[in-house]
A and B are shown apart, each in its own frame.
Chain A
Amino acid sequence: AQTVTQSQPEMSVQEAETVTLSCTYDTSESDYYLFWYKQPPSRQMILVIRQEAYKQQNATENRFSVNFQKAAKSFSLKISDSQLGDAAMYFCAYRGKYTNAGKSTFGDGTTLTVKP
């Protein structure tokens, strides 16, 4: 079974600085998707960034980028130029591309605080 581990329950960053959130996962599959979701107090899960395992290039979306290390099964999220609106719970998630393709497995999240 796939597992996702986020080892940082809480992180804080100064506004305008950079922070990195860690995620490791375990799977026996070779092709899959990895995601970072943001969940603000409004509760709605918002997709931040997606990585396809067969793509070696790390995904980027504006101020958000990932460091995907397939062999190490590591998928960290870097937030540059942090803004107050980035404060939220961040979840790392795994989804198989073929086996269990409909099911996402989530970590337990990292609460990010942004200090003005």
Chain B
Amino acid sequence: DAGVTQSPTHLIKTRGQQVTLRCSPKSGHDTVSWYQQALGQGPQFIFQYYEEEERQRGNFPDRFSGHQFPNYSSELNVNALLLGDSALYLCASSSLGSGDTEAFFGQGTRLTVV
């Protein structure tokens, strides 16, 4: 079992650009959540996808958007990048469909905005 995989592992972008991060959930999981972790802080919830729809959203601007595909994988898109978007982006998968709320995390994508 490959667990939760995220790509790319590192990324450098320029202010104003757009970025797409990808996440493949653990086998058997149907739900993907995205978190932003700034340096020295705990992860902050961005949103969650289940059955290809955004199920819940944290306090993030509309520049942050996502998508879930029929195979349960997910993308996080960030438009008009700001320096403050530099962070570790974590993806977590779980199996809400079976009532199991335990989340498994990927190793994250380190985004640097210059």
A residues with CB within 8 A of B: 4, 33, 37, 42-47, 50, 91, 93, 95, 97, 100-109
- Return the 6 tightest CB-CB contacts between A and B, nearest first: A106-B42, A45-B105, A102-B48, A102-B56, A44-B107, A103-B45
Query: Nearest-CB distance from A112 to chain B (Å)?
Result: 15
Contacts of A101 in B (CB 8 A): 96, 101
Contacts of A100 in B (CB 8 A): 56
| Complex Cα spacing A97 to B101, Å | 9
- Counted as pairs of residues, one from A and one from B, with CB atoms less than 8 Å apart, the total is 59
A50 and B102 contact, Cβ closer than 8 Å, known pairs A43-B88, A102-B56? yes
How many B residues touch A, CB cutoff 8 Å? 27
Name 5 extra pairs, CB < 8 A, besides A43-B108, A44-B107, A102-B55. Answer: A4-B42, A33-B101, A91-B42, A93-B42, A102-B50
Say if the beta carbon of B78 comes within 8 Å of chain A: no
Is there an interface contact between A104 and B106, defined as CB atoms closer than 8 Å?
no
Contacts of A37 in B (CB 8 A): 105
Query: Nearest-CB distance from A85 to chain B (Å)?
Result: 17
Residues 55-114 of B at the A interface (beta carbon under 8 Å): 55-56, 58, 88, 90, 92, 96, 101-108, 110
A33, A103, A107, A108: which contacts B33 (Cβ < 8 A)? A103
Is there an interface contact between A108 and B56, defined as CB atoms closer than 8 Å?
no
Contacts of B106 in A (CB 8 A): 44
| Complex Cα spacing A45 to B104, Å | 8
Is there an interface contact between B107 and A42, defined as CB atoms closer than 8 Å?
yes
B33, B44, B101, B105: which contacts A44 (Cβ < 8 A)? B105
Contacts of A108 in B (CB 8 A): 40-42
